[in-house]
């Protein structure tokens, strides 16, 4: 907002008047949500669920540091109407709970952000690599530890360094689990106990746990469904061991309480909060990594957003906090197509939600869609066997291909060239090529091939 320049005593009356207007404007600007957002969501979410075959959707809105709205739509289990206290597995949102647990320990001077973790833990796979002596908590929380997301993604199947800790950003669940091992060795407690005593109990998050829920609460658990609305064949949903990177079980209300406490610095001091939201390294041109949180800046009214998503088979979740206005949105889903709903709900509910989504997932401008020959679309269509022992199908649409596969959102991808396609909400690219084995695709993110497959004959 432009400052008024006072040049004479006669300007005082004008200043008073303008300041009053400023106060009114600021009050209005604090409301990040569209008009009648509650009724809008109640109307639009069931439509989205029907379109995308997502049985249950939970939404929480935070305004002025208080819970404004909570609802859970649809069925969390076949034939069972979802309740507001439905318990969801929120996948990688677990990482920010782990982050706040660790930062609480740091704030209480019981842990150090930049102390080498080899004092407490060294994974046997990297014992003979001297780089293990450089790993710190900061590297784990900023995804600069140097590990792949999971060791199973390495050709060796073992934990190994892709680069020196601190050199660059590369999202890593292994980095969080490495930190967990160090914490548990230091405190002689599992991470679930630490989170319970430092976060869940103080904030009265009565339904939050890093372990499995009580038997009676399984009736409230949101089971997982594929892109066609069929339940995944999961024999055992239980998660008996606490993970640092995945499998937090929680209700919309409890994560809303958590979000409020993060923003009002109930959990950690203001000074440590400021360090947490200070960009540590670039993810891409439009988003940075803080301590545990993705940071999106340069939003309207000079605001910024903190974000973390979660995604697994049958799970897509998101938390977005805007600390300047003490506002936020939480979306939980229990279907493979849930990411489509998460993004759509953010765009519908927040006045500048489309900007948030684009900045989160695109480092640059979204490419222009070109028109390509339908024979090429037919050539690329089919089912592919991937290098992760899964199948991924591409179905021909009008100048697009729709993706189908277990645990994969059924998004459409559009051509930017005759061989390269992209989804509009995510900066990833599918590249098709002919090789000796037949037609091949590569899924590329940030210049790295993260999945590839050969078309079934």
Q: In this predicted model, what pLDDT tens digit does every residue of 342-399 receive, in sequence order?
A: 999 999 999 999 999 999 999 988 999 999 999 999 999 999 999 989 999 999 999 9
Provide the phi-psi class of 264: left if phi over 0, else alpha when psi is between -120 and 50, else beta: alpha
CATH topology of domain 37-361: Beta-lactamase (3.40.710)
Residues counted in the chain:
457
Q: Using an 8 Å Cβ cutoff, are 156 and 135 in contact? A: no
Distance from C-alpha of 431 to C-alpha of 428, rounded to nearest angstrom: 10
Q: Span 49-54, mean pLDDT? A: 95
Spatial neighbors of 59 by CB under 8 A, at least 6 apart, are 41, 45, 69, 70, 71, 72, 73, 252, 329, 330, 331, 332, 345, 349
- Given a cut of 80, whether residue 9 has pLDDT beyond it is no
Q: pLDDT-based confidence at 29, cuts 50/70/90? A: low
Q: Using an 8 Å Cβ cutoff, are 309 and 283 in contact? A: no
- This prediction has a pTM of 0.89
List the one residue out of 163, 109, 107 whose CA is nearest residue 135: 163
Q: Span 246-262, mean pLDDT? A: 98
For residue 256, what are its two tokens? 């809303």
Higher pLDDT, 155 or 110: 110
Distance from C-alpha of 19 to C-alpha of 360, rounded to nearest angstrom: 34
User: In the chain, count of helices (H) and strands (E)?
Assistant: 11, 19
Q: What are the tens digits of pLDDT across the range 199-229?
A: 999 999 999 999 999 999 999 999 999 999 9
- Given a cut of 70, whether residue 14 has pLDDT beyond it is no
- Match 């982050």 to its residue by tokens: 99
Residue 299 β-bridge partners? 303
Sheet containing strand 287-289, edge to edge, reads 80-81, 66-77, 56-63, 327-333, 315-322, 303-312, 294-299, 287-289, 281-284
Distance from C-alpha of 225 to C-alpha of 40, rounded to nearest angstrom: 25
The CATH number corresponding to 374-455 among 3.30.450, 3.30.1180, 2.60.40, 2.40.128 equals: 2.40.128
- Given a cut of 50, whether residue 6 has pLDDT beyond it is no
Residue span(s) of the chain under CATH 2.40.128 come to 374-455
Q: pLDDT-based confidence at 77, cuts 50/70/90? A: very high
Spatial neighbors of 167 by CB under 8 A, at least 6 apart, are 144, 146
Spatial neighbors of 276 by CB under 8 A, at least 6 apart, are 99, 103, 268, 290, 291, 292, 293
Residue span(s) of the chain under CATH 3.40.710.10 come to 37-361
Query: Using a CB cutoff of 8 Å and minimum separation of 24, what contacts does 112-116 make?
Result: 112/137, 113/137, 113/138, 113/291, 114/138
For residue 447, what are its two tokens? 């210049």
């Amino acid at each position: 907002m432009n400052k008024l320049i006072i040049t004479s005593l006669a300007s005082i009356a004008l200043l008073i008047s303008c300041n009053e207007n400023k106060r009114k404007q600021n009050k209005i600007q604090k409301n990040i949500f569209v008009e009648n957002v509650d009724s809008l969501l109640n109307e639009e979410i069931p439509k989205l669920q029907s379109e995308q075959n997502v049985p249950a959707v939970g939404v929480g809105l935070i305004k002025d540091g208080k819970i404004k709205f909570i609802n859970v739509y649809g069925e969390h289990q076949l034939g069972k109407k979802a309740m507001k206290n439905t318990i969801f597995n929120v996948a990688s949102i677990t990482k920010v709970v782990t982050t706040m647990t660790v930062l609480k320990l740091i704030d209480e001077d019981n842990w150090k952000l930049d102390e080498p973790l080899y004092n407490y833990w060294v994974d046997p796979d990297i014992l003979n690599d001297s780089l293990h002596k450089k790993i710190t908590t900061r590297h784990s929380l900023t995804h600069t530890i140097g590990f792949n997301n999971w060791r199973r993604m390495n050709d060796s199947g073992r934990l190994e360094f892709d680069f020196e800790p601190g050199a660059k950003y590369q999202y890593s669940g292994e980095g969080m689990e490495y930190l967990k091992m160090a914490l548990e060795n230091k405190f002689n407690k599992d991470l679930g106990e630490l989170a319970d005593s430092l976060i869940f109990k103080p904030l009265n998050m009565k339904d939050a746990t890093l372990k499995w829920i009580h038997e009676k609460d399984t009736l409230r658990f949101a089971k997982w469904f594929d892109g066609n609305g069929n339940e995944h064949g999961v024999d055992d949903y239980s998660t008996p061991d606490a993970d640092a990177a995945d499998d937090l079980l929680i209700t919309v209300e409890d994560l809303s309480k958590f979000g409020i406490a993060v923003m009002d610095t109930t959990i950690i001091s203001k000074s440590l909060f400021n360090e947490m939201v200070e960009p540590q390294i670039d993810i891409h041109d439009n988003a940075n990594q803080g301590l545990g949180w993705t940071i999106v800046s340069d939003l309207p009214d000079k605001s910024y957003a903190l974000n973390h998503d979660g995604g697994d088979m049958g799970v897509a979740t998101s938390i977005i906090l805007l600390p300047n206005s003490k506002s936020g949105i939480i979306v939980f889903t229990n279907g493979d197509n849930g990411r489509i709903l998460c993004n759509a709900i953010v765009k519908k509910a927040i006045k500048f939600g489309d900007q948030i989504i684009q900045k989160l997932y695109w480092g640059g401008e979204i490419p222009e869609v070109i028109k390509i020959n339908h024979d090429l679309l037919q050539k690329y269509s089919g089912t592919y066997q991937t290098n992760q022992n899964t199948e991924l199908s591409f179905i021909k649409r009008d100048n697009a291909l729709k993706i189908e596969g277990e645990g994969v959102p059924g998004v459409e991808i559009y051509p930017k060239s005759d061989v390269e396609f992209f989804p509009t909400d995510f900066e990833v690219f599918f590249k098709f090529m002919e090789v000796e084995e037949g037609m091949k695709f590569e899924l590329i993110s940030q210049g790295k091939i993260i999945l590839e497959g050969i078309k079934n004959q």
